[in-house]
Amino acid sequence: MNQQELMDEADQYLFHVYNRLPVVFDHGEGMYLYDVSGKAYLDFAAGIGVSAFGYGDAEYEEALKAQMDKLLHVSNLYYHTGLADAAKAVCEVTEMDKVFFTNSGAEAIEGALKTAKKFGYLRDGHSGHEIIAMEHSFHGRTVGALSVTGTEHYREPFYPLMDGVKYAAFNDIESVKRQISGKTIAILVEPVQGEGGITPATEEFLSGLQILSEEYGLLLIFDEIQCGMGRTGEMFAWQEFGIRPDILTTAKALGGGVPVGAFAVTDRVAAGSLVPGDHGTTYGGNPLVLAAVSTSIRLMKERQIPEHVKELAPYLEQVLNGFAAKFDFVEGRRGKGFMQGLILSEDVPVGQVVSKALEYGLILLSAGGNVLRFLPPLIAQKRDIDAMHEILEDVLDSFA
């Protein structure tokens, strides 16, 4: 079947919940994906921040193949040989004490919310606690995660959602303070907002949240599903600020390409919240995905990926700033590390730029607020940034 026939047949059977771009990918190598006709696409999206090592990384793939030959799945009723290694590695890199493995980011958020609610229930002797989430946040599509996602149009068709969520303005500590009530148990924040438009939290905001949490006895939950695992030049974005959340969620690059996420907590939270019977998952942390987690974390450390991102990020920023200087409709750049956005004016819809880029052989993403989003694999080199520069210049020229 050719590309069109493959798309037509897929559309015949898929529930139309995604508007997919017209390309059928077949394989990948390094920073490039290839469609069925053999056309190469430079990837600055990494499967929405997942494929940290790009495609076809020999060490990563060998580890998964070896695990496939050994054992795929046993459930969480038992231990398996990869469990200790992966749990220890995640606790070490997240600076948390205990971890629970999930199958996705949204499921990690669900676990974090349940942990916070149970913590409040045990501490105060009743339920009915509230969570403060941020405007323009994104935490996933399941009902709990959607309830704390700060964009009304995602939520509206699905009301009533989870009760007891209040929204505060991102990077505005006074706004958060105004939402605190006697019922508040937790504050949930992305240290760099992703889907909302690539907006980094300020150091003052994050440390202000920590101070507020201590003052009012709240749990601080950081969602680093998109911005964590080396993407900002730190293993986790908050680590540069010398603060520490009570609960952390991670996914995407945690497994480098297999469906896995986690929520991790401090000893204090673990000792006062979920107990056996409160939570579970059939697949979460099975031998296959944990081989990916252990390998991803090991490779990140051995190859000094966060350091690499930190070193090269100024170059990427320089190139993106250059677009902002050259094209009137590029209003600015914001982001951190290899998580960057170009803010486009309203007369150039970002969806059209993403489509045109794909046509020209460059994979990019959009984000809220008409932002062109860049999430390259973390292995990107200077030459890849130069190649992106060249293609995107042509793409943007076509809109000028």
Ligand X SMILES: Cc1ncc(COP(=O)(O)O)c(C=O)c1O
In this structure, are residues 234 and 240 in contact, taking their beta carbons and an 8 Å threshold?
yes
Which residue stretch of 58-66, 125-133, 223-231, 289-297 sits at the interface with ligand X (rule: CB under 6 A)? 223-231
Q: Give the residue with the Cβ less far from ligand X, 220 or 319.
A: 220
Query: Minimal CB distance to ligand X: which residue?
Result: 105
Least Å from the CB of residue 353 to ligand X: 20
Residues in 198-217 that interact with ligand X by CB under 6 A: none
Q: What character string, x for contact with ligand X (CB under 6 A) and - otherwise, covers 249-278? A: --x---------------------------
Candidates 54, 111, 140, 150; binder of ligand X (CB under 6 A) is 140
Instruction: Scan for tokens 């973390």, then name that residue.
Output: 378
Q: Whose Cβ is closer to ligand X: residue 248's or residue 316's?
A: 248
Measured from the CB atom, is 119 or 222 closer to ligand X? 222
- CB burial of residue 112 (10 Å; 0-12, 13-18, 19+): buried
Site for ligand X in 276-305 (CB under 6 A): none
Burial code of 165-190, b = ≥16 C-beta within 10 A, e = fewer? bbbbebbebeebeebbeeebbbbbbb
Report the residue number, 198 or 320, with the smaller CB distance to ligand X: 198
Q: In the complex, what is the shortest distance from the CB of residue 95 to ligand X, in angstroms, rounded to a whole number?
A: 19
Instruction: Please list, in sequence order, all residues whose beta carbon lies within 8 angstroms of the beta carbon of residue 10, skipping any fewer than 6 positions away.
Output: none
- Looking at beta carbons only, is 148 or 219 nearer to ligand X? 148
Figure out which of the listed residues 105, 257, 337, 341 binds ligand X, where binding follows CB under 6 A. Answer: 105
* Site for ligand X contains 106 (CB under 6 A): yes
Q: Which string of x and - marks every residue 36-75 that binds ligand X (by CB under 6 A)?
A: ------------x---------------------------
Smallest CA-to-CA distance from 134 within 185, 181, 198, 179 is with 179
Find the largest Cα–Cα distance for the chain: 63
Exactly one of 35, 110, 190, 384 binds ligand X (CB under 6 A); that residue is 190
Q: Are 393 and 61 in contact (CB under 8 A)?
A: no
Q: Compute the least distance from the CB of residue 258 to ligand X, in Å.
A: 12
Identity of the residue, 195 or 246, whose beta carbon is nearer to ligand X in the bound complex: 195
CB under 6 A: which stretch of 19-27, 52-60, 170-178, 221-229 binds ligand X? 221-229
Q: Cβ distance 193 to 138 under 8 Å? A: yes
Residues in 109-138 at the binding interface with ligand X, rule: CB under 6 A = 109, 138
Among the listed residues 111, 150, 191, 194, the single contact to ligand X using CB under 6 A: 194
Rounded Cα distance between 162 and 165, Å, is 7
What is the distance, to the nearest Å, from the Cα of residue 197 to the centroid of all Cα atoms in its chain?
13
Q: Does 104 bind ligand X (CB under 6 A)?
A: yes
| Nearer to ligand X (CB atom), residue 63 or residue 146 | 146
Nearest Cα residue to 200 out of 177, 174, 171, 228: 171
- Phi first, then psi, for residue 339 (nearest 5°) are -130, 95
Angle of the 83-94 helix axis to the 287-302 helix axis, nearest 10: 40
Least Å from the CB of residue 167 to ligand X: 16
Nearer to ligand X, 130 or 190 (CB): 190
* Residues engaged in binding ligand X (CB under 6 A): 48, 104-106, 109, 138-140, 190, 194-195, 223, 225-226, 251
